[in-house]
Amino acid sequence: GGEDELEARPPVVTVMGHVDHGKTKLLDAIRKTNVVGGEAGGITQAIGAYQVTTEVDGEERAITFIDTPGHEAFTAMRARGAKSTDIAVLVVAADDGVMPQTIEALNHALAAEVPIVVAVNKIDREGADPTKVRGQLTEYGLVPEEYGGDTMFVDVSAITGVGLEQLLEAVILTADAALDLRANPEMDGQGVAIEAHLDKGRGPVATVLVQRGTLHVGDSIVAGTGYGRVRALLDDHGQNVDEAPPSFPVQVLGLTAVPGAGDSFIVVDDDRMARQIAERRASRLRMAAQAASTR
Ligand code: GTP
Ligand code: NA
Ligand code: MG
């Protein structure tokens, strides 16, 4: 595929921040606003990756959000999240202010050279001090636009819904100003597993983010040491879809094994090739484990 086949794709945004500062609640609130915008049903899935749309300058724009846990045990996940993302939304509770995992998340985003938008959450709370949060983050080099810096800060409340539209707009403006997000949807799909688990009824279920190309039902794929023919693709409302274009998060059914979070996936020519690649990976891992245990 040549340059001319590249098409605009939505930004992939990882939501990071200290434990309980409201990342998940904020995403829930954003999705609810979006449901009012015309989608049927409530929230049916909690896969931690969602695509929403918003209107900016009269144009419908999609944004893909990925939730992450704030607990300190999830350092590796934040590092991975920052790498597979276009923009980081750093959530800071306005009553708590900057905390250890706020700084850790900020450092991952800076290391990955990802633009940051700050969501100052819980401004409905008594004791909320959004000015203090701005001052604290300025000390870490994240200077708000209103102080002459280049980081957009948006005051929000996941409970009252204030500021949510402005947050989506800030994400789009930041993407448009700092990034040229394009991909060729005609290519074979490839991307990364965000989360995966073994479901009693459905077998291995992997939530993947398509980063390039388009993933289709019926494709032969390898994901980590798992492989298989894609039996079904489910969007973030649990609805079956035939294909997943660039920046789209989907659940994949049909794998033989559960991939690890952060494992890449690729589409290959046929099932036989998928199995060969997966088995080669598995034997490499076994050899590495053996070497480690005999050392
Ligand atoms: P982890 O995933 O555990 O890191 O937490 P989180 O950042 O996803 O926080 P979560 O969304 O679970 O919210 C933590 C608590 O804060 C919940 O009790 C929420 O109801 C509450 N909360 C979140 N946002 C707001 C807000 O804007 N205002 C108020 N008053 N409470 C909020
Ligand atoms: Na929480
Ligand atoms: Mg959460």
CA of 79 to the centre of ligand 3 (A): 16
What's the chain's Rg over C-alpha atoms? 20
pLDDT in tens, 161-203: 999 999 999 999 999 999 999 999 999 999 999 889 999 999 9
Residue of the nearest CA to atom 26 in ligand 1? 122
> The dihedral of CA 91, 94, 96, 98: what is its sign?
positive
**pLDDT value of position 76:** 76
**pLDDT value of position 41:** 37
Q: At 279, is the pLDDT very low, low, confident or very high (cuts 50, 70, 90)?
A: very high
Give the annotated binding-site residues: 17-24, 67-71, 121-124
Quick check: 223 pLDDT over 70? yes
Q: State the Cα–Cα distance between residues 87 and 106, nearest whole angstrom.
A: 12
Q: Which ligand 1 atom is nearest residue 27's CA?
A: 11
User: Three-state DSSP class for 202?
Assistant: coil
C-beta separation of 18 from 111 below 8 A: no
Q: At 218, is the pLDDT very low, low, confident or very high (cuts 50, 70, 90)?
A: very high
**pLDDT value of position 5:** 86
Asked if residue 211 has its Cβ within 6 Å of ligand 1, the reply is no
**pLDDT value of position 47:** 53
Q: Which ligand 1 atom is nearest residue 157's CA?
A: 27
Beta-carbon count within 10 A of 280 CB: 12
Asked if residue 158 has its Cβ within 6 Å of ligand 1, the reply is yes
Asked if residue 159 has its Cβ within 6 Å of ligand 1, the reply is yes
How far, in whole angstroms, is CA 239 from its chain's centroid? 19
Is pTM beyond 0.95? Reply is: no
Q: What percent of the chain has pLDDT over 90?
A: 78
pLDDT in tens, 22-53: 998 899 899 875 443 333 333 333 457 889 99
132: nearest Cα among 145, 149, 117, 144 = 144
Among all bound ligands, the one having the nearest atom to the CA of 158 is 1
Q: Which of 35-39, 212-216, 254-258 has the lowest mean pLDDT?
A: 35-39
Place of tokens 């005051």: 155
Asked if residue 78 has its Cβ within 6 Å of ligand 1, the reply is no
User: Three-state DSSP class for 24?
Assistant: helix
Q: Which residues surround ligand 3, an ion (CB under 5 A)?
A: 23-24
Mutate to test the pocket of ligand 1, among 23, 25, 67, 95 (most ligand atoms within 8 A of CB): 25
User: Three-state DSSP class for 5?
Assistant: helix
Which is more confidently placed, 33 or 212?
212
Tokens of 72: 């300190």
Give residues with Cβ within 8 angstroms of 209, minimum separation 6.
12, 49, 64, 66, 84, 191, 192, 194, 247, 248, 249
Tokens of 69: 């846990």
Place of tokens 């589409």: 267
- Specify which of 2-6, 44-48, 155-159 reaches the highest per-range mean pLDDT: 155-159
CA of 21 to the centre of ligand 1 (A): 5
Total length of the chain: 295
CA of 90 to the centre of ligand 3 (A): 13
pLDDT in tens, 84-114: 899 999 999 999 999 999 999 999 999 999 9
Report, as an integer, the average pLDDT of 131-150. 96
Written as one letter, the residue type at 1 is G
